[in-house]
A = this chain, B = another copy of it.
Amino acid sequence: MPKKPVSPLVTFTTTLERVGQQMNANPSTIALLSQPQRVIEVAIPVERDDGSLSVWHGYRVQHNNVRGPYKGGIRFHPQVNLDEIKALSAWMTLKSAVVDIPYGGAKGGITIDPQELSDRELQRLSRAFIERLGKNIGPTTDIPAPDVNTNAIIMAWFTDEYARLHDGAEHVQAAFTGKPLSLGGSQGRDAATGRGGLFVLLEYLKQLAQDSKDMTVAVQGFGNVGSWFARLASEAGFRIVAVSDANGALYHPAGLDIEQLYQALKTGGTLDQNVCYPKLSVEQAGQQTANCELISNQQLLELDVDILVPAAIENQLHDN
């Protein structure tokens, strides 16, 4: 029987308090970090293409701006809830501080399955959300970024709406990151989260004085983060033995050819509709190429690998 997932916010505050005690941190500091400075929750009415009206809920949680303007993604997902967004905003504060960039932490989202909307409805929803957030965001205040199900196009809508509301018809591009390149976006933004994960891993192995050569890796999730991580890690010499998506995982002990897999999925489809792309030929790998198999996400998590990369969503790892 599946256990009820632990609240991400409880996970955060529990961890914060435990670490605080270990560090002998000032209780006031822990108290300040254990809750966001500001939560904005909005109702977003959107006219549907058939003329009817639907109302969705959106959130922006501004956790802490002591080190710089609030920064964090906006996600569109049916499971978005305030508890999760609060927790993610807090982790953003800590992540910015750990890598010493002058930003604070924030997160936002709309509780919606964006696939239920037409493109025009999705645009209206995106614009209405920015209008409702009003003066709570901005280049020196709070700078949202793409996140689950929000891409460069949505950032372009956000930016354009923000510009309309604040400067007439001008471009106010600094209010959002993750924009299309042609509208002032940054090169490399697409791969950044996956690449960042790899950088951290390599630094960690360097500290452990371990050689990454042929280390085995299982990657849970093959979205933007997981696929970029897998491609770049594969290039860097890691052996990616398993990757998964919502429908299941491909597993090959001798390593998968991630680039072939990525190209095969670029035009759509899921992993379980694909054959294995072993990294080694039969000759190179011996009998192992026959071992390619489709396994479940749960099985992937339990593989005996050197490195397990959780690149899906929260609450995948738990005891029992």
Residues of A at under 8 Å CB distance from B? 28, 31-32, 35-43, 45, 52-53, 55, 57, 65, 67-69, 102, 131-132, 134-136, 140-141, 164-165, 167-172, 182, 184
Contact = CB atoms under 8 A, between A and B. Distances in A.
Contacts of A135: 134-136, 168
Given A36-B43, A37-B43, A141-B168, 18 more contacts: A28-B45, A28-B52, A28-B53, A31-B55, A38-B40, A38-B41, A38-B42, A38-B132, A39-B40, A65-B171, A131-B164, A131-B168, A132-B169, A135-B168, A140-B167, A141-B167, A164-B165, A165-B165
A169 B39 contact: no
Greatest chain B CB density within 10 A among A165, A170, A184 is at A170
Chain copies in the assembled complex: 6
Q: Could you tell me the dominant secondary structure of chain A's interface residues?
A: mixed
Contacts of A134: 38, 135-136, 168-169
Which 5 A-B pairs rank lowest in CB-CB distance, beginning with the nearest? Answer: A135-B135, A28-B53, A39-B41, A134-B168, A35-B43
A90 to B, nearest CB: 12
Most buried by B among A36, A132, A134, A167: A134
A35 B43 CA distance: 7
A39 B82 CA distance: 12
B165 A141 contact: no
A128 to B, nearest CB: 10
A32 B168 CA distance: 19
Contacts of A171: 65, 68-69, 140
Contacts of A57: 35
A53 B38 contact: no
A299 B172 CA distance: 51
Given A28-B52, A165-B164, A170 B69 contact: yes
Contacts of A36: 43
26 contacts: A28-B45, A31-B45, A32-B43, A32-B55, A35-B43, A35-B55, A35-B57, A37-B169, A38-B41, A38-B43, A38-B134, A39-B40, A39-B41, A40-B40, A40-B41, A41-B41, A65-B169, A65-B170, A69-B171, A131-B168, A135-B168, A140-B172, A141-B167, A141-B168, A141-B170, A165-B165
